[in-house]
Each structure stands twice: as structure tokens, then as C-alpha cells.
Chains A and B, each alone.
Chain A
Amino acid sequence: EAGVTQFPSHSVIEKGQTVTLRCDPISGHDNLYWYRRVMGKEIKFLLHFVKESKQDESGMPNNRFLAERTGGTYSTLKVQPAELEDSGVYFCASSQVLRRTEAFFGQGTRLTVV
């Protein structure tokens, strides 16, 4: 069974550019989460989808971040325009709706804004 996959694994962009991160959850997992780890800090929650609906987006830092999950399958996280402080590792995790605490993580996307 395929795990949670994220694309790209690394991205280096200039300040002001746009970047879109993608997450493919484990098939059948309705819950999808985005997290971010800024260097030297702990992993922090960004938002939570249940199928295509945003259940909780209280962790989104500002309106430069837009997450979507059309059709309730894969999800994208767009940063536009990117700022230097957006650099970090973005993790995606998914879980079954009836076992919402059993979350499986992807390998992360390392974003560097220069």
C-alpha cells in the first residue's frame, strides 16, 4: 500500500514567487492535515480537511497561504507570494475518519525562499 506522498521533495524559489505543494494521502483516508516545521522550531499544525471540506484552518499563518482539496483526494498548498519566513519543511498527513488520531505522514517538502 502506498503511503502519503508529497511533491516536490525540495523547492527553492525567490521571494515574491508562487509555489504549489502537493500531497497525495493514503487511499481511503478522509482526513488530511498540513503541518509546517520552521528551522529550529517544532512542527505546527496548519489545517485539516475532512474529504474536500476544511474542518479547521486555524493554523494557517496568513492569506498568502491557500489550501485546496478538490474532490476529496489529493490536496495542494499554494503560497503566493512567498516570503523569506515561509521557508521550512511542509508535512502532510492523512488518517481514516474513524481513527482520526492514527495519522501517517509524508516525507515532507523542503521549501527554501531566497
Chain B
Amino acid sequence: KNQVEQSPQSLIILEGKNCTLQCNYTVSPFSNLRWYKQDTGRGPVSLTIMTFSENTKSNGRYTATLDADTKQSSLHITASQLSDSASYICVVTSSGGSYIPTFGRGTSLIVHP
């Protein structure tokens, strides 16, 4: 069964600090892994996407890594800002069938001033 597990479930940090969110998956066969940011009351917005051959991808202060061997990914946020407060969702898509994505439950990040 395809699964995506994220940790921690929630995280509180001070503005300006760095943090790292984790994602472990069992999706197979693997097509791509995407990190989304979801603000309260909004739909998810894509931050990064990585395929099998990519092990790191950056988008501003967001850097995602992928280890396809261990089936792990991380999202590192540098110099956090108050606007980073949101839910961060890891989504892994299988290349089997019609590319149905499997979502993690997300990590709720709160950045305090």
C-alpha cells in the first residue's frame, strides 16, 4: 500500500530560525515527489518537485532533498518568516496507472515573532 509519512506533525519555531521537515514514503513505482505549502483556508501551492534523478531542489528559502534509495525527503526552510506559518504537505506520485498522488498528512509549522 502506498503511504507517505511526515514528521513532525507540528513544529513551532522563532522567526529567523531554520527548520527541517521530514517525509518518508513507500510509494512504488516512483515518479516524483512534491512539497506543497498550504495556508489556512487556501489550496495547496507547489514549492518544489523532484524526480528520481534529482536529489536536491531549491525555491528561494526552501530547499528539498530526495534520497530515492531510502525513500526519504526533507524540506529545509532557511531564515524563517512569519509568512512561513502554514501546513507543508509531501506528495508522492506513482508512475503506475494514472499517476495518482499519495498525500502525507502534513506538518503544521508556526513561526513566532
Contact = CB atoms under 8 A, between A and B. Distances in A.
Given A42-B4, A42-B106, 11 more contacts: A35-B103, A42-B105, A55-B98, A56-B98, A101-B31, A101-B34, A101-B93, A102-B49, A103-B46, A103-B101, A105-B43
A26 to B, nearest CB: 12
A103 B105 CA distance: 18
Contacts of B36: 105
B89 interface: yes
A91 interface: yes
Contacts of B34: 101
Interface residues of B, number: 23
B43 A41 contact: no
Given A42-B103, A43-B103, A59-B100, A105 B45 contact: yes
Interface string B74-113: 0000000000000001000100011111011110000000
Contacts of B98: 48, 55-56
A44 interface: yes
A45 B100 contact: yes
A4 B32 contact: no
A107 interface: yes
A42 B2 CA distance: 13
Interface string A95-109: 000001111111110
15 contacts: A35-B103, A42-B103, A42-B104, A43-B44, A43-B103, A44-B103, A45-B100, A45-B101, A56-B97, A56-B98, A56-B100, A101-B31, A103-B101, A105-B43, A108-B43
B1 interface: no
Nearest to B89: A43
A70 B100 CA distance: 22
Contacts of A58: 100
B41 interface: yes
